[in-house]
Structure 1
Amino acid sequence: MSDDSNLIERFLEMLVAETGASQHTLSAYRTDLEQASMIAGGRLSSADRETLKNLPAHWRKLQNSTVARKSSSLRRFFGFLVEEGFRESDPSDALPKPALVRSLPKTLSHAEIALLFELIAEGLGREPVKSSVVRLSAILELLYGSGLRASELVGLQRSSITSDKPYLIIKGKGGKERLVPISQQARAAVHRWNEHVDPKEKWLFPSRTGHISRIRLFQIIREHAVKAGINPAKISPHVLRHAFATHLLEGGADLRALQTLLGHSDISTTQIYTHIDSARLVELVNKRHPLSQVNLAR
C-alpha cells in the first residue's frame, strides 16, 4: 500500500472514530482524495503548494459546489497529516475557495401544514382508526413539531418518548447529543401509536428487518401529501424540518435557540432561515405597501 493509500485509510478511520461519519460521507472523502492523489502522481500526502495550485486545472468543468467540496476534503486531510505528525506544514491555503450562492431550503406554508394535519384529524375521527393513520400522526408530530432529521426519527426506540417526559435526547450528526422538546400533543400521538406496536419491538417505527428506512419514510410523507392536495415534489421529511425552523423564526424564536433545537454545530448554518424570513418580508412589502399599488411611470 502506497503512502497516500495508507494515510487516506488512516484519515478515514479518524473520521469514523471522532465524528461518526456516515458511509456516504466516507465515500465522498475517499473519492476526492484518491482522485487528487492520482493527479499528484501518488504523492499527495507530501505535495507542496505549487503541486496543489495545479489541481484546479483538472476541476475547470466542475461546478463551484463540487470544487468547494474537493477543496474542503483536501484541507481536512492536510490538517490531519499535520496534527498527526505526518508532515510539518499545511499547504492547503493554495487551494481555491470558490464563492457559493447558498440556495434557500424548501419549506411549506402554514396553510399547507394545516392541510396535512386536517387530513390526519379526519382519519383519527373514523371508526375503526387505521393503524397507518395513527403512525402517520406520530411521524408528522415529530418531524414538524420537533424538527427531527429523518435519520433521527427512524432510529427512535420505543423507550425514547414517555408521557411524563417533555423532551428526548437525540444523537445527531457526528454522534453529538442534543435535547429536543416534545409537545404534549406529540407525546399523545406517540402514545396512541405505541398501542399499535408489539411491546417486544425495540424500534418506535418498526419494519420487518428493523426500523423503517429513510426511503420508506419519504414515501409515506409524499403519499400523504398527494391525499392532502399538496404537490408531492414540494415535500419530504427534511422539508418538514425546514418548516419547523421557519415557522418558529416567524413566531419570534431566537436564532441561538433555533440552532440548539436543530442541532447545528455552526450558527451560520442556522442563519439561512433568516434569509427565508427576509424573503417573506420583502414579498409582504411588495404586495401590501401602498406604493406598490401606485403607477409611477406616468
Structure 2
Amino acid sequence: MSDHRAISDFLDAQAAEAGAARNTLLAYGRDLRDLSDWLANRRLSLANLTRDQVEDYLTHCDAQGLSRATRARRLSAIRQFTRFALEEGWRTDDPALRIAGPGRAKRLPKTLDRAEVEALLDAAGRIGRTQTDRARNVCLIELLYATGLRATELVSLPVAGCRGDPAVLVVKGKGGKDRMVPLSTPARAALREWIVLRDAAPHGSSLHRMLQGPGARWLFPAIGAEGHMPRQSLSRLLGNMAIEAGIPPARVTPHVIRHAFATHLLEGGADLRSIQMLLGHADLGTTEIYTHVLDARMRDLVLNHHPLAHVASECRKTGDPST
C-alpha cells in the first residue's frame, strides 16, 4: 500500500470512527505527509517504519528549529497512525509506542484583564460601516467572552438554536460532542438585536444575498462554500476592535478571549470542574493550566482572611517573634 493511500485510509477512519474534528484531520494529514516526504527522500516508506527512523525524523524536526509543541504534535500524529496500522494488521508492531516526546513548554496562557475586555466590548459597537455590521460585531465579542467558545464553534453556530432568546446554547465541540453553555444578560441582548437585524436585511444587500444560499443556516453568514464566517475573518475583526480599544492587536485573538473567560471565572470563585465542562475539555488536566489563578487566590485568602494573618503581619513589622 502506498503512503498516500495509507494516510488517506487513516484519516477516513479518524473521521468516521473517532469523530476527529476537521482541523485535527488537517493537522494529522500535514504531519504525516511531511514524515512520508522525509522517508521518500531516503527511499523509505511508512509501511516499514522503524523506531530508529521515527527518532531520526524527530531529530530532523528539531534541527529545523520547530517548536517543542510542533514536534510533540507530530509525534502524536505518528503514534495515532502506527497504532491504527497495528490494529488494521498492516504491521505486527508499533514503532512509536515507547518513544518519549519532547513535551510542551509549560507557560501560562495569555489573557486580558477585565478592564481590557470591557474596552474591547465597548469598541465593538464602534466598528462597522452600518448598524447591522456593528450589531454583528457586538454579538460576536459578547458571545465569545460570555461562553469561552473556540473560534470554530462560534462562527459555525446554527441560527436555529439561537432564536427565542435562549438562556443557554447547545454547542457542538471537538469530536462532535455537544455541551451547553449559559449566556450572560449582555450576550442575550446582543444576540437578540443581531438576529432581528439579520432577519431584516434589506433586499439586495450583501447580507440578504448571503441568506439566500448556504448562509441561511448560520448565525454569522458569509460568502463561501461553508456559508458561515471564516475563523480568519473573526480574527481580523478582533484585531480591529483591539486597535479601537487601544490594545496591541497581537494580544487579542479568539483563544485569548477564551482564556480570559476561564481566568475571570476562576477569579470570581468558579471551580475547575465547572470550567472544564464549559470549555469542553475532555481532560481536567487541560483545564489545570489556569491553576495559577487559584494559587494567587489561595494566597490572598490566607494572607487576608486567616485569623492569624494579622498577627503574623504585625510580627514581621515589629521584628518581635513573641508578638
Q: TM-score, normalised by structure 1?
A: 0.82
Within 5 Å, give how 1:1-298 maps onto structure 2: 2-17=1-16, 18=18, 19-22=20-23, 24-35=26-37, 37-38=39-40, 41-61=43-63, 62=65, 63-119=67-123, 130-198=131-199, 201-209=216-224, 210-278=227-295
Residue type of the partner of 1:198? Answer: D
Q: Distance in 2 between matches of 1:81 and 1:241?
A: 36
Moved more, 258-267 or 132-141: 132-141
Q: CA RMSD in A?
A: 3.2
Q: Distance in 2 between matches of 1:221 and 1:182?
A: 20
Asked whether the 8 Å contact 2:72–2:101 carries over to 1, the reply is: yes
Q: Distance in 1 between matches of 2:217 and 2:300?
A: 47
Q: Which runs of 5+ in 2 are unaligned?
A: 201-210, 303-311, 318-323
Q: Distance in 1 between matches of 2:21 and 2:298?
A: 39
Q: Distance in 2 between matches of 1:206 and 1:29?
A: 31
- Describe the shift of the 1:224–1:60 C-alpha distance in structure 2 as closer, same or farther (beyond 3 A): closer
The total of aligned residue pairs comes to 286
Residue type of the partner of 1:265? Answer: A
* Percent identity of paired positions between Structure 1 and Structure 2: 39
Q: Distance in 2 between matches of 1:253 and 1:113?
A: 19
Match of 2:206 in 1: none
Asked whether the 8 Å contact 1:246–1:277 carries over to 2, the reply is: no
SS at match of 1:211: coil
Residue type of the partner of 1:72? Answer: S
Q: TM-score, normalised by structure 2?
A: 0.76
